[in-house]
Structure 1
Amino acid sequence: MGLKNKLFLGTFVHSKALDELEYLHNAAVCVDMSGTIVAVEVECDELRARETVLPRLGWEVAEVEVVEAKEGQFFFPGFIDTHLHASQYPNIGIFGKSTLLDWLNTYTFPLEASLSDPVKARQVYTRVIRKTLSHGTTCAAYYATIDVPSTNLLTDLCLSHGQRALVGRVCMDQLSPDYYRDASADASLAATRASIAHILRADPTMSLVKPIITPRFAPACSLPLMRQLGALARETSLPIQTHISENKSEIALVKDLFPPSATGAADDSYASVYDAAGLLTDKTVLAHAVHLTEAEADLVSARRAKVSHCPCSNSAITSGAARVRWLLDKGITCGLGTDMSGGYSPSVLETARQAALVSRHVVMGANGLAPGEEREKLSVEEVLFLATRGGAEVVGLEGRVGGFEVGMEWDAQLVGLGMIGEGGEVEGEEDEGGDVDVFGWESWPDRVAKWLYNGDDRNTKKVWVKGRLVHQRK
């Protein structure tokens, strides 16, 4: 998608493993016109790159765009938001004292239903795409609404703005207001097929936008609908996204609605209901997973389904504290989700810091559990892994994005920190580093920790998706 081959110079930071960040200083990364990384060279300044690396690639020096990180800046992989509701963006921060089911009826369903108005939908979707890009989110797993034209519009806007996305039309045919539900399971399936067809027409190779089958959550879907969506997933090999075990009242409702005698499941657990309907697969993204039982976690692991951890939302609407270390120990792949508007921020960086803090609440004794072990804490390195490589695996993009390696695509952000001069003032632009002050004596791991705990969109200077510049801070 880029018009030129590109040479990036400076410091590159990315995850090598769950608990390891790699720092490549004075390095060069070459990205071709397709947006693919074709060379990574350490100890390579611009002169060496021009004299040795570019000729080796057969690139004409004059035709290469050069982007060099300044002092205090570094390149970091783009964030991957594995769970958010594009249609709920106007409601971020509006949840009062409500819990999940009340919040849906009071705030969420009326807003989503209103986006059948194409003018309003364009306004909301354009803003959420621009806002998430400005926070370094290069890929988002979006829930739209039940409305097909509105869902199609979200797809078109993602493509025009250059954001990588999974876009799902929401399926729900019960336990929601009459004004906002599918007429039947068959109608829901037909509408879902229509939205999938639109996405495949808009991006036939799914190089940027992919359809994702989206049953809202079990209480809002009849058993026939869930079974039809499970069959659709098998037919198309498309991913699935839904919610699981977010709130204790929701879990009790699932037990009442879907007894094993009706589902044919081994038990009445939330995970077993999805499994019986064919919705628990290695391409399933399960948001929340706060209150999974041991048996459910084992089933999720056996099916190789993935979990989107949404710490901001889980705290904001009082759902609970997910035990991420326990999930990881079970072999369950995890990423991070902002879950707007249950979550209050469009920032995956904010979500990562909250993931670190919530893990400390688990240690102190959350969810009515006894205090956990110190190893339950998530480190800076671990939450940044979840925000990038972990998220990539959750949405089926492992090996394509989330790191700086040859063959991967250049989904990246240029991060700038505030360098403090001898007079105690920020050198350069006034908001260069936002709330992140670097005095010069910090190690690079300490700089990254300061960014994690204090950073915001002021630190995100530029953002690229597949080699295309899609955001630049003015």
Structure 2
Amino acid sequence: MTTETPRPQGESLQVFKGTFIHATDTSPMETLAPRILGVNGMGKIVFIETVDKEEELSQTWHFQKKNIRVLQQREEFFIPGLVDTHIHASQYPNMGTCLDLPLLEWLVEYTFPVESKFKDLKFAEDTYTKVVKRTLRNGTTTACYFATIHTESTLKLCSIINKLGQRAFVGKVCMDLNNLFPTYKEQLCESVSETRRFVTELTGRMYPLVKPIVTPRFVPSCSSELLQQLGSYANTEDLHIQSHISESRAEVELVKSLFPDCKNYTDVYDKHSLLNDKTIMAHGVYLSNEELKVFHQKGAAISHCPNSNISLCSGLFDARNALNHNVKVGLGTDVSGGYSPSILHAMRTAIDTTKIHGFQTSNYERLSYQEVFKLATLGGCQALGLDHVTGNFEVGKDFDAILVNTSVPNSPFDIFPNDTQEDIFQKFLNLGDDRNMVEVYVAGKKVVPFPNA
């Protein structure tokens, strides 16, 4: 029986009956239909069983048939919450615009100016509320956010995430070099001390789902001293780490000129103690096989951001090659380098990217849509070190989930009598949007629709 030991039912229990689609360690996608699933008052899955066990479960867990949430056959199903492993909350005002320049010029012309505005707490609160709500509506139950160099507004982002119920890592950006935009940077000592203050204050607030992550922006904006101090601090405090790596050719060449004694971009982070099993690096488009081997050895992960890589003309990340090197890979929107806040859209662009690799290389093994679905859910949790907490519908894990309804009014696609469950799921993956995500749960709590909305 797929269940944990029952407890006295003084706690509330949510029970759902219908179809559940998820990934596991051994399968990129499994369709469990029909199943009955229970979530306890702590938001954890306590059983998932075939429906013929309903009577036995009701006696064991003390629930009544009338309290079971029964999903519509075929049209409704649950998937795990989507995981955005790389998003710049502070760039949200520019989303959908400013995509006419390559990375380094784009930072100077558009990105640094908008991030500079976040010293204004009112502007920060308005923007951060909008981005967290937007991502939740699009099914992002877990997000790994870059904020800005401003500690107070970054803490404001954390309080908004906590209030709205999303699971997140949040990083105060660290950068003591910026020759391209000199007014947007910190002093070395300030960057380190403010990172310590941010982590201490956020930890002290004891938000259950919001955690700090050490965030050197990327190598060109950080001195060797800053990288070293951040690496030492992260390791001493056992903190997660995020940054960017090998996003564009120009960036790779710049890093080579800044750190001529390092073998490659990966070596810079490694020599500064910033590459370990709690590290996630965005992009990795131009990582060599030698670098991927180091990623595997260190246990570091990559956030694949296909929309951004194409939008900024950075390149095409080869996710298959990274997976073949046993490197953990998740998906990221990279708002606003990516113009969509939707991980569904990231899945589609990842599929397009793997097809383009297939055009370019003979006998190339393209990623299947099932594999990309895993990257968006369990794979993202593995990349962030959360797969023991959530990511699929296994007993003992938090219930982070999206209730998908494919027959909502004005749905962006239609289903037909002969469509199989797999057909319907593929239509949702390729054509669906937030209209189909009628309910979103994080740790068992329904966070979408928003209360009092």
Q: TM-score range by the shorter chain?
A: over 0.9
Q: What is the aligned partner in structure 1 of residue 319 from structure 2?
A: 324
Deviation of 1:335 (Å): 0.4
Mapping of residues 143-292 of structure 1, within 5 Å: 143-175=146-178, 176-183=180-187, 185-203=188-206, 207-260=208-261, 265=262, 267=263, 269-292=264-287
What is the number of residues matched between the two proteins? 440
Deviation at 1:106, TM superposition (A): 0.7
Alignment match, 1:77: 80
2:440 paired with 1:453: no
Residue from 109, 112, 120 that aligns with 2:112 = 109
* Range 163-172 or range 450-459, more displaced: 450-459
Residue 50 of structure 2: which of 39, 42, 48 is its match? Answer: 42
1:437 Cα offset (Å): 1.4
| Greater shift in the superposed pair: 168-177 or 273-282 | 168-177
Q: Contact 2:216/2:222 (CA < 8 Å) preserved in 1?
A: yes
Aligned partners of 1:18 and 1:385 also within 8 Å: no
Contact in 1 for aligned 2:28/2:373 (Cα 8 Å) = no
The RMSD of aligned alpha carbons is 1.7
Whole-Å Cα distance in 1 between the matches of residues 241 and 404 of structure 2?
Answer: 32
Contact 2:22 2:80 in 1 (8 A): yes
Q: Does 1:91 align with 2:70?
A: no
Structure 2: gaps of 5 or more residues: 1-9
Distance 2:368 2:205 in 1: 40
Q: How do 1:309-320 and structure 2 match up within 5 A? A: 309-320=304-315
Q: Quote how far apart the aligned CAs of 1:18 are.
A: 6.6
User: In the aligned structure 2, how far is the partner of 1:378 from the partner of 1:323?
Assistant: 10
Q: Distance in 2 between the 1:317 and 1:214 partners? A: 22
Matches within 5 A, 1:296-315: 296-315=291-310
| Aligned counterparts of 1:26 and 1:60: Cα–Cα separation in 2 | 19
- SS of 2:169's equivalent in the other structure is strand
The correspondence for 1:374, drawn from 355, 364, 380, is 364
One-letter code aligned to 1:115: F
Unpaired runs of 5+ in structure 1?
366-370, 419-428
Offset, 1:55: 2.6
Among candidates 51, 68, 87, match of residue 70 of structure 2: 68
Deviations 1:81-139 (A, max 9, x none): 00000000111121232000000011111111101111110111001110000011000
Runs of 4+ deviating beyond 4 Å: none
Name the aligned partner's letter for residue 117 of structure 2. Answer: S
Bigger Cα displacement from structure 2, 76-85 vs 173-182: 173-182
Q: 1: CA distance between counterparts of 2:41 and 2:32?
A: 23
Identity level (%)? 40
Deviations 1:145-188 (A, max 9, x none): 000001000110110000000000000010252321012x2210
Partner Cα distance (2:97, 2:68) in 1: 43
CA contact (8 A) 1:19 1:379 kept: no
- Out of 335, 358, 379, the position equivalent to 1:363 is 358
For normalisation by structure 1, the TM-score amounts to 0.90
The alignment's TM-score, normalised by the length of structure 2, stands at 0.94
Look up the equivalent residue of 2:31 and give its one-letter code: Y
Residue 319 of structure 1 and its aligned partner are, at CA, apart by 0.4
Query: For 1:272 and 1:372, how far apart are their aligned partners in 2?
Result: 31
Distance 1:149 1:282 in 2: 29
Partner SS state of residue 14, structure 2: strand
SS for the counterpart of 2:186 is coil
Give the whole-Å Cα distance in 1 for the aligned partners of 2:116 and 2:56.
58
Q: CA–CA distance in 1 between the matches of 2:211 and 2:124?
A: 20
In structure 2, relative to structure 1, the CA distance for the partners of 1:21 and 1:146 (3 Å cut) is same
Residue 439 (structure 1) aligns with: 416
Aligned to 1:22: 30
- Is residue 309–residue 324 contact of structure 1 (8 Å, CA) maintained in 2? yes
**d(CA) in 1 for partners of 2:70 and 2:343?**
25
1:81 touches 1:139 (CA, 8 Å); kept in 2? Answer: yes
Aligned equivalents of 2:133, 2:441: Cα separation in 1 = 13
